[in-house]
Amino acid sequence: MPLVSTKTILDLAEEKNFALPAFNVPIPEFILWVLEAGEEMRASLIIQIAPVEYEALDIRMFYGTLLFLSQKFSIPFSLHLDHAHRLEDILLAIQNGFSSVMIDGSRLPLEENIQLTNKVIEVAHPVGVLVEGELGRVGGLEGDESWEEKGKEEDFFTSPQEAQEFVDKVPVDMLAVAVGTRHGLYKGRTPQLQLDRIKEIRAKTNLPLVIHGGSGTPREQLQKAAQLGVRKINFSTALRAQYLSSFQEYLESHPEELMVGKILQGVEGKVKEVIKECIIASCAEGKV
């Protein structure tokens, strides 16, 4: 199966009522591990990268790498830009083969968010690129999060009424919503998804919804969210945390090992276990 557009697998997720697990890939090894786990579990999925991640890499490497790897795998997968805040990042992604992009105007006042997202749509839709917008604020690790200290958690949830107003003015293809998750570690707290809010937002917008910060959210909650119309769930922290802890454990057990390939082989299996759990939590297993 060749590398496909996000629209192709988003339509599949709508048809079969599941969420696409979308995996951030801060290092190239993650790409292969994600695709191998997806192939084993017969799951469609999304490879995504955010500007804060590709600062350490070259954005041009991703499309070519995935196009080459598509010869090896039979599952459909796509390439998505995560958490862009500037139009320049959107244009760069479109020029380099991304079939969907996320513009994050959630920190802006509603009207400014609408204006920014519409500017992205003006350049993306004519070339067949889907646009994910965001409404509400998903807290946690996104860079400078000092704004979290200025309000109560309730203030950041996505309002169903505001969501309806937003999509009436902005023809986005997917809508990321704040419904109880956060980016990064939960530090001992278990998230509680607001399933009724998800159901109401979906009813008012009739759009595929996106949950950011899927890592650490109980499997059962994410599966219920998928059944209610969430069509994309982002996973990053769970993979990175497992990778770093496994890497450290391997080095402690093999302090003289200098062959990086051997270390990665020792880490790979544990990271894949996390990837598979994310696929199950998205209800995506066996949907290809």
Residues assigned a catalytic role: 82
Q: How far apart are CA 262 and CA 133, in angstroms?
A: 41
Residue 214 tokens read as 């899927």
Can you give the three-state secondary structure of 2-69, one letter per residue?
Answer: CCCCHHHHHHHHHHHCCCEEEEECCCHHHHHHHHHHHHHHCCCEEEEECHHHHCCCCCHHHHHHHHHH
Contact (CB, 8 A) for 283 and 227: yes
Q: How far apart are CA 232 and CA 61, in angstroms?
A: 24
Our separate counts of H helices and E strands in the chain read 11, 10
Residue 108 tokens read as 């802006």
3-state secondary structure of 195: helix
Closest CA to 11 of 133, 123, 99: 99
For tokens 């500007």, name the residue.
Answer: 51
**176 DSSP β-pair partners:** 134, 210
Q: What is the DSSP letter of 216?
A: T
Q: How far apart are CA 78 and CA 12, in angstroms?
A: 12
